[in-house]
Amino acid sequence: MATTRVITKRSSKRRRGSSRTALDAQPLPSSSPKAETKFERAKEARQLTLSDAEIAVHWLKASKGTRSNERVVFIRQELEALQSEWADHSSTPPWLRPTRPGVNNRDEFDKVHRQLEERHRSLNEMLGRYIFRPRVTHSVFVGTWHFGMVPDDNRQSFSIKIGDRTIAEDDAVMAMVRLDSTGDLGQVHLCEMCQQEWHVAAKRSYLLFQRMSHRLLCEESELSREEG
């Protein structure tokens, strides 16, 4: 395999960001594989997915009302919406779309295309503020080594502690990007009735039951407010 050596000139002012795309990137950080069989690996992957959903939901509930929360909710919305809107936009070329009086299909197609590209660029700019660095930790008395990725400390980032685990804004975003990469972002679900409470939709077969149960709770809460 041919390799190319690139020497980059050092600058006095370090540039933020990268010119590389996700096609030329390290894989998303995940737990180290311990399973040996295909069944065990699939089970391990499902556990990681559930863990990511739980991380995101715990953080979203605790951070309600903060700027951190607003940023992460917006990122979650754009991750979901852009895929759907790009698919709709690309499914039918302008020359196959129904003609409408006074509407130039090509111009309309190009306009929507530019808007989607701009939103895509803005989303990557937002994601670019979350920086994770490799970290190796040695537990001296136990004699074990631990490997992971940690975000930079940021006072403007809302964070919580669950046991010994720290969950910062960066961790919540990384969890949702991982979920989106496996098609499981819908597991981080906002109640469609109250538009306030986040919950984990652990299994698709349970989603309808969860929505119905939470809707009853919302209705009871609304009645209690009216009676009070």
Per-residue tens of pLDDT for the chain, all 228 residues? 555 454 444 444 545 556 766 665 656 666 555 556 777 666 666 655 568 999 999 999 999 999 999 999 999 999 999 999 999 999 988 888 888 888 888 999 999 999 999 999 999 999 999 999 888 888 888 888 888 888 888 888 999 988 888 899 999 999 999 999 989 999 999 988 888 899 998 655 455 555 555 556 665 655 565 555
Nearest-10 Cα torsion for 151, 156, 158, 163: 50
Q: Is 50 left (phi over 0), alpha (psi -120 to 50) or beta?
A: alpha
Q: Please report which helix (H) or strand (E) contains residue 173, including its range.
A: helix 169-181
Residue spans of the domains in the chain: they are 47-92+106-186, 191-228
User: What are φ and ψ of residue 184, in 5° steps?
Assistant: -115, 20
Integer Cα distance of 192 and 212 in angstroms: 10
Neighbours of 166 (CB within 10 A): 12
Integer Cα distance of 33 and 47 in angstroms: 12
Q: So what's the pLDDT on residue 48?
A: 59
> Cα angle at 29 between 125 and 122, to 5 degrees?
10
88 closest CA partner among 111, 116, 107: 116
Per residue in 13-23, pLDDT (tens digit) is 545 556 766 66
The alpha helices in 92-147, defined as continuous H runs, are 105-127
Integer Cα distance of 55 and 63 in angstroms: 12
Integer Cα distance of 180 and 156 in angstroms: 25
Integer Cα distance of 72 and 80 in angstroms: 13
Q: Which two tokens stand for residue 67?
A: 């700027």
Integer Cα distance of 228 and 226 in angstroms: 5
Per residue in 150-190, pLDDT (tens digit) is 888 888 899 998 888 889 999 999 999 999 998 999 999 99
